[in-house]
Amino acid sequence: MSATDTVFALASGAGRGAIAVMRLSGAETGAIVARLAGGLPRARHASLRPLRDPADGEVLDEALVLWFPGPASYTGEDSAELHLHGGPAVMTAVGGALAALGARPAEPGEFTRRAFLNGRMDLTAAEGVADLIDAETEAQRRQALRQADGALARLYGAWADRLTRLLAHQEAAIEFAEDDLPTDLGDRARDGAAALRAEIAAHLADGGRGERLREGLLVAILGAPNAGKSSLLNALAGREAAIVSARAGTTRDVVEVRLALVGVPVTLADTAGLREAADEIEQEGIRRARRRAEEADLVLAVFAADVAPDPETLAWVRPGALVLANKVDLAAAPAVIGGVAPLAISARTGQGLDALRAHLAAAATRLAGAGDAALLTRPRHRAALTEAVAWLAEAEAASLPELVSETLRAALRSLGRLTGRIGVEDILDVVFRDFCIGK
Ligand SMILES: Nc1nc2c(ncn2[C@@H]2O[C@H](COP(=O)(O)OP(=O)(O)OP(=O)(O)O)[C@@H](O)[C@H]2O)c(=O)[nH]1
Ligand SMILES: [K+]
Ligand SMILES: [Mg+2]
């Protein structure tokens, strides 16, 4: 299997549909499409053609054929699209004909991988394409589109360019020192490293919003048995997702629903009521409740207004938790619970739920709101940038010029891994373009 094979894949979803899009990419695309469609249409113009079986000339389908010669195509290679009638038999027949003509089925992500290998996009943009396909909500879609469009690629590429220039200055400083010429190039490299480090550090200090938006927020509902947790989940979800009953210990497992709040995907988790349970299954449910709450971005600590607050749930009244007094249709909400003024709600009558939704929306914006900023979205980005910051700090502190060079080079490698772009040649290019060293 080679990256230079001509590949094909169904670009639209599998199954029946009005139209299915079969996509091809690779050097043989033009020849294969010409054989199948009796000639190549004009580049980037849709043309209706019969597709014929190369073996016996039988018409397989009438298709819209689009021809995208490289390098101005998605993959950078010669590519084509066949818009077929969307039935399984059509797909099988056309797929068989393409294979008979020498193309092979593409691996998952292979079109985008080729686009990356051909320099059509960097790694972060390729990740953005994947995220765009997976996006469930508006805010996710905007963030993914921005990234696919190269927002992170431009930011990280500009940092890599600056770093390359600093490294070139530093190398030149070493050269000039050998010639006993006075120079402040070394200081300039060090100052530049400090400035760059501050910028990257500021980008890292985003509170994890981009990553949270990509992953979605986890909100866990905790409380004593019968506090009304499942009732609250159902009220917020707008459907009977969890069983509600007057019997304490109804919920045994974690019940989750997906919601979108201000465009942020949220998993709302209802859990087993916290108490000293004798029952083995209930104990396991409570263990799961606690584990989910530990993982949660936000805990809703639910108390019933008509009973005294239980110590198990009080232990979860900590910064980052939202304290709720439920059943305020039965009794007035206490002024404070665990030192915090609770939000008064009734899962039964709906009282206070709009205020709760507003609180949740504000939390979603605070924790995962991207606004217009290009935020990092993956642990991979965070790890590479954290590494670059550490190398830059070493460069600033290094006393030997060679060590400054070494550490700047390491920082550049970290950025290079992030974008998949930087090789040593880039540094050499700048050294020889920006400097006339004269020896
Ligand atoms: N009056 C009143 N009753 C409520 C309210 N919320 C829940 N209930 C009732 O309280 C009882 C327990 O509700 P659930 O939602 O099952 O409580 P839970 O916290 O999920 O209980 P477990 O799953 O056993 O931990 C049910 O009879 C609900 O109808 C409320 O706001 N007002
Ligand atoms: K219950
Ligand atoms: Mg329940």
Q: Which residues are annotated as a binding site?
A: 23, 81, 120, 226-231, 245-251, 270-273, 346-348, 439
CATH number at residue 165: 1.20.120.430
Find out whether the beta carbon of 271 lies less than 6 Å from any atom of ligand 1.
Answer: no
| Whether residue 164 sits in one domain with residue 306 | no
**pLDDT band for position 179 (50/70/90)?**
confident
Residue ID of nearest Cα to ligand 1 atom 6: 228
The chain-wide mean pLDDT, for the chain, equals 92
Q: Are residues 252 and 343 in the same domain?
A: yes
Please check whether residues 44 and 164 belong to one and the same domain.
no
- The answer to whether 304 and 224 have CB atoms below 8 angstroms apart is yes
Q: What is the pLDDT of residue 373?
A: 87
**Given the CA of residue 249, which atom of ligand 1 is nearest to it?**
24
Decide: 309 and 222 in contact? Cβ < 8 Å. no
In three-state secondary structure terms, 50 is strand
Q: Is the pLDDT of residue 371 over 90?
A: no
Q: For the chain, how many structural domains are there in total? A: 3
Task: Identify which of 313, 310, 306, 308 has the alpha carbon closest to the alpha carbon of residue 328.
Answer: 306
**Cα(124)–Cα(190) distance, integer angstroms:** 28
Confidence of residue 423 (pLDDT cuts 50, 70, 90): low
131 lies in some domain: no
- Residues 286-293, mean pLDDT to the nearest whole number: 97
Looking at the structure, do residues 167 and 42 belong to the same domain, yes or no? Answer: no
Proximal ligand: closest to the CA of 222:
1
Task: Answer yes or no: are the C-beta atoms of 238 and 273 closer than 8 Å.
Answer: no
Domain co-membership, 224 together with 306: yes
Could you tell me the sign of the dihedral formed by the alpha carbons of 139, 145, 124, 202, in that order? negative
Answer yes or no: are the C-beta atoms of 324 and 356 closer than 8 Å.
yes
Using the predicted structure, report yes or no on whether residue 427 has a pLDDT greater than 70: no
- To the nearest 10°, report the CA torsion of 14, 16, 19, 24: 30
Stronger pLDDT, 427 or 339, i.e. the higher one: 339
Q: Report the alpha-carbon distance of residue 48 to residue 41 in Å, rounded.
A: 9
For residue 293, how far is its CA from the centre of ligand 2 (angstroms)?
Answer: 19
38 DSSP assignment:
T
Are 427 and 329 found together in one domain? no
Which 3 state secondary structure label does DSSP give 180?
coil
Find out whether the beta carbon of 245 lies less than 6 Å from any atom of ligand 1: yes
Asked if 168 and 253 sit in the same domain, the reply is: no
Among left, alpha and beta (phi > 0; psi -120 to 50; other), residue 302 is beta
Domain that holds residue 95: 7-117
Above 70 in pLDDT, residue 6?
yes
* Amino acid, single-letter form, for residue 41: P
* Ligand 1 centroid to residue 418 C-alpha, Å: 49
Is residue 172 over pLDDT 80? yes
CA 386 – CA 10 distance, rounded (Å): 39
Average pLDDT over residues 205-216: 94
Q: How far is the CA of 231 from the centre of ligand 3 (A)?
A: 7
Q: Give the Cα separation of 301 and 326 in Å (integer).
A: 10
Q: What is the pLDDT of residue 156?
A: 96
Mutate to test the pocket of ligand 1, among 226, 247, 252, 283 (most ligand atoms within 8 A of CB): 226
Instruction: Give counts: helices (H), strands (E), the chain.
Output: 15, 12
Same domain, 190 and 225: no
- Residue 66, domain member (yes or no): yes
Task: Tell whether 53 and 159 lie within a shared domain.
Answer: no
330 lines ligand 1 (CB under 6 A): yes
Per-residue pLDDT, averaged over 194-208, amounts to 96
Please say which residue of 317, 339, 368 terminates a domain.
368
Distances (CA, A) of 39 to 64, 76, 396: 13, 22, 62
Kind of pairing between the strands at 17-25 and 79-86: antiparallel
- Does residue 194 share a domain with residue 167? yes
Q: Is the peptide bond before 41 cis (omega within 30 degrees of 0)?
A: no
- pLDDT band, residue 3 (cuts 50/70/90): low
Of 368, 403, 425, which marks where a domain is finished? 368
Contact yes or no for 303/326 (Cβ under 8 A): yes
Which residues, 6 or more positions from 433, have their beta carbon under 8 angstroms from its beta carbon?
Answer: none
pLDDT band with cut points at 50, 70 and 90 for residue 182: low
Residues 156 and 121: beta-carbon distance below 8 Å = no
User: Helix, strand, coil % (nearest 5) of the chain?
Assistant: 45, 20, 35
Residue at a domain's end among 336, 368, 400: 368
Token code pair at residue 108: 């998952």
